[in-house]
Amino acid sequence: MKGVILVGRIFILISSLASALGGCSGGSSNTATSSGGTTSQAAGGSSATGGAASDAGGAATGGAGGTTSTKLVINALTTGTDFACAALSDGTVHCWGDGFVGQLGNGGQVQRLVPVLVSNITNAVSVSAGTSHACALLSTGSVMCWGTNTSGELGNGSTTNSPVPVAVTNLTSATAISAGNGVSCAIISGGAVQCWGANLTGELGNGSYVESHVPVTVASITNASNIDVGEGQSCAVLANGTLDCWGLNSSGELGNGTTDRSNVPVAVSNLSNVASVAAGGAHTCALLKDGTIQCWGVNSHGELGDGTMVDRSVAAPVTGISNASMVSAGLMQTCAVLKDGSIQCWGGNVVGELGDGTTTNSSVPVRVSNITNASGVAGGQQFTCAADSDGVAHCWGHNSYGQLGNNTLNVNSPVPVTVSSF
């Protein structure tokens, strides 16, 4: 890990999450989307993690001759350390930015300033990016991963990097996925959770500290509906609307009132009616079914959004947000899509990752400039990306590897720029 690297997260379209917020009892539906990262969802079309997209777009009228063509929709949008990926409604996945360890999945190991097609994937329903690897959930319930594999995070039984997707071993009924810092996790049909990769701080949740190059079952979780993997912590929303987390806890990111790490899931204190979870660098946030957001963990840049810079080991409400439909946690920033299609972000803003036209940190939410129809948001390491209801992606913040996707390099932007077309 280079410094504290972000755990890219996946965040996806609001329509499925909106349904969950609309009153779905017992938590969000099968891996309800999170924007926070969360997870992908349901093979078979359901949107999970990102919610499979929904409506943005539908069919568009074609050109001459009166023919029609299907308009591509972004089903899932996700950010890693310095790269981003999108799963489209035609089943393909496209990535851009840093590709030096194969995390773009196109067979190369170079950065790309515009989206490139991930090899050999034609039926993806979601995608999630970790530090330097990514995984796609396929419509069959299987999962394929690519990029760095130092700790076995690709899940194929080896520690060999791969610049093209490889199948995760013995995983055939996944309904949601999330990739983090050397770790990947999936919800399995029925609600169990399996994880693979690094385990120095208990990230696999199986009661050990031994890494695994193939999936292992997380202890005591049998009814998960949503999952997100952060820098060192993982969290799962349960069917009854409560939340369990495990792994690193040096800043209170597990939310159980302590700073003790745990290699098995522990309950987040005083939290119920959770729709989705977003795990970031060293902080975690939960979107509740009433549209409010609560956060906990490190707060040195204001990433908890409570108007202070005081770390918290129990959940605290984000100031001024009561109508959110999605939340995503990046390295030091947090963002939420609101029901009116706008985005608000808070926390670190050194290179413009809050998108408000400044480089000033904020401990309370500020509005992202020029986006009024957002369907998803994903916070990365000092950059952020969003999808809109027209099927267009936008990114802002750091651009050292072309992660803004607009065919420029080393030109940071404190306001959203449009990602080149897929």
Task: Give the count of beta carbons closer than 10 Å to the beta carbon of residue 1.
Answer: 15
**Mean pLDDT, the chain, as a whole number?**
87
Residue 3 falls within a domain, yes or no? Answer: no
Give the structural domain span for 272. 10-57+73-418
362-367 β-sheet, strand order:
324-329, 333-338, 343-347, 362-367
Cα 306 to the chain's mean position, in Å? 22
Task: Give the count of beta carbons closer than 10 Å to the beta carbon of residue 398.
Answer: 22
Residue 300 falls within a domain, yes or no? Answer: yes
Residue 67 falls within a domain, yes or no? Answer: no
List, for residues 306-363, the tens digit of each pLDDT value: 999 999 999 999 999 999 999 999 999 999 999 999 999 999 999 999 999 999 999 9
Residue 66 falls within a domain, yes or no? Answer: no
Beta bridge partners of 229: 234
List, for residues 203-246, the tens digit of each pLDDT value: 999 999 999 999 999 999 999 999 999 999 999 999 999 999 99
Q: pTM of the entire structure?
A: 0.87
List, for residues 275-319, the tens digit of each pLDDT value: 999 999 999 999 999 999 999 999 999 999 999 999 999 999 999
Q: Report residue 356 as tokens.
A: 């408000």
Q: What is the CATH number of the domain that holds 239?
A: 2.130.10.30
Residue in the block written with tokens 């770790």: 183
Residue 252 falls within a domain, yes or no? Answer: yes
- pLDDT at residue 356, rounded to an integer: 98
Residue 64 falls within a domain, yes or no? Answer: no
Tell me the average pLDDT across 145-165.
98
Domain count of the fold of the chain: 1
